[in-house]
Amino acid sequence: MSEHQEHIVSPKIYLTILTALLIGTGGTVYAAKIDLGRWNIVLALSIAVTKMTLVILFFMHGKYSARRTKLIIASGFFWLAILLVLTLADYTTRHAEPSRSQLAPVGELEQQPGAPLSA
Amino acid sequence: MHRTGELYGQFQTLEQQKESATMGMWVFLITEILFFGGLFLAYTVNRHAFPTAFGVGGNMLDLNLGFLNTIVLIVSSFTMAMSVWSAQTSRRKAVPAWLIATLLLGSAFLGIKVVEYKQKFDHHLIPGHNFDVTYCSRNQVACGLGDKEFADEQKEIHEGIEAEKAPRMSEEEATVALNAHAQLYFSLYFGMTGLHALHMIIGAGLLLWLIFEGFKGRFDANYNTPVENIGLYWHFVDIVWIFLFPLLYLINRHLA
């Protein structure tokens, strides 16, 4: 047998996490109906990230995994961050996209030669 | 399958063997994170480009069914975790019982998804030749809308068309633009939820195998790697939905 037994997460902790996840789900639906402007998306994603963290740490035993496994979990999110951040850094800083020019007032359009008028 | 928890030659201890299995599963899940990550990226970029149409599309989804499905899936993650716990503590009979509960909840999720897809089909929201995002603003009875819902629908579509209007653009051209961009939203909706549902179907198949083996009493404190690893997969699929739900269903509700 191995030197020490694997960590067993108790049903009590699973129930606590389940409750937290259900509250988070109710909370995110409730918050979505309140007009917070641009903060709606920030709040919704914050709740989602919190729920994900709970699932990984407890349901998936991330908290009790070997350090090597923890490193691998973290590296997955690091690569995902590269994918999202670098691509969005490009897309969100372009100005001559059809959709942007559609939304812009006429005067602004004339300052951007080459911007298409319709999609 | 004759190997149940004995030590393979390349490992020094059972603990090391177990850790390697968990690590390998996580490496697979990372490829899955990046697989779904590409779709989430496509969604974000297009939503950034066409916020109006994506808002209109998102508000056409059935929030109650989406909410119910989120709860069903989260509870299924809990029952899956309980089956892992049952195996770890050698409760051999409880293992298949919790797995069956997980399978039933997973099937309920897919069933609710079928109802939602059917609804989108009836409302002309399947991308393709008959796609028409304005359909429900003109067909109250066919879409089963109450008077107030119908008025809201008309208001939302009208505002959407106004927002799509570029300078010197006619009403018809703006409607075509709204339809084109809403079609992009529904392509991503079906692509993302469809890929997620495919993962659920594969998960259900894996659960069936686990249940079959569980009834033979194969999983206990000494050997539970398949339950643990399929559990990791099931929780991962749950996490994907935890993000799909707010992104697809929720983020424009405050404008509805």
What residue numbers bound the domain in which A11 lies? Answer: 1-64
Same domain as A47, residue A28: yes
pLDDT at A1 over 50: no
Within 8 A of B255 by CB-CB distance, chain A residues are 35
Cα(B204)–Cα(B202) distance, integer angstroms: 5
What residues have CB less than 8 Å from A88, skipping those under 6 apart? B41, B44, B45, B48
Domain assignment of residue B158, yes or no: no
pLDDT at A2 over 50: no
Same domain as A12, residue A70: no
Q: Write the pLDDT tens digit of every residue in B26-78.
A: 999 999 999 999 999 999 999 999 999 999 999 999 999 999 999 999 999 99
According to the model, what pLDDT value does residue B4 have? 64
Same domain as A6, residue A49: yes
According to the model, what pLDDT value does residue B214 have? 96
Within 8 A of A106 by CB-CB distance, chain B residues are 167
Among A19, A59, A92, most B C-beta atoms within 10 A, so best to mutate, is A59
Same domain as A57, residue A71: no
Same domain as A47, residue A18: yes
Same domain as A81, residue A52: no
Domain end residue (candidates: A26, A47, A64): A64
If you write DSSP's letter for every residue of B174-192 in order, what string do you get? HHHHHHHHHHHHHHHHHHH
Q: Is A11 on the interface with B (CB under 8 A)?
A: yes
Q: Write the pLDDT tens digit of every residue in A52-77.
A: 999 999 999 999 999 999 999 999 99
First to last CA, chain A: 67
Q: Of the candidates A18, A52, A99, which has its C-beta nearest B239's C-beta?
A: A52
Across chain B, mean pLDDT equals: 94
- DSSP type of residue A92: T
What residue numbers bound the domain in which B200 lies? Answer: 17-131+182-255
pLDDT at B256 over 60: yes
Q: Write the pLDDT tens digit of every residue in B77-102.
A: 999 999 999 999 999 999 999 999 99
Query: What's phi and psi for B145, nearest 5 deg?
Result: -95, 145
- The residue that leads in pLDDT, A2 or B229, is B229
B174, B191 in Cβ contact below 8 A? no
CATH of the domain at B36: 1.20.120.80
Packing angle of the helix pair B225-244, B63-88 (nearest 10 deg): 160
According to the model, what pLDDT value does residue A93 have? 87
Q: Quote the tokens at residue A1.
A: 């047998």
Domain assignment of residue B63, yes or no: yes
Q: Write the pLDDT tens digit of every residue in B195-242.
A: 999 999 999 999 999 999 999 999 999 899 999 999 999 999 999 999
Total number of domains constituting chain A: 2
According to the model, what pLDDT value does residue B5 have? 75
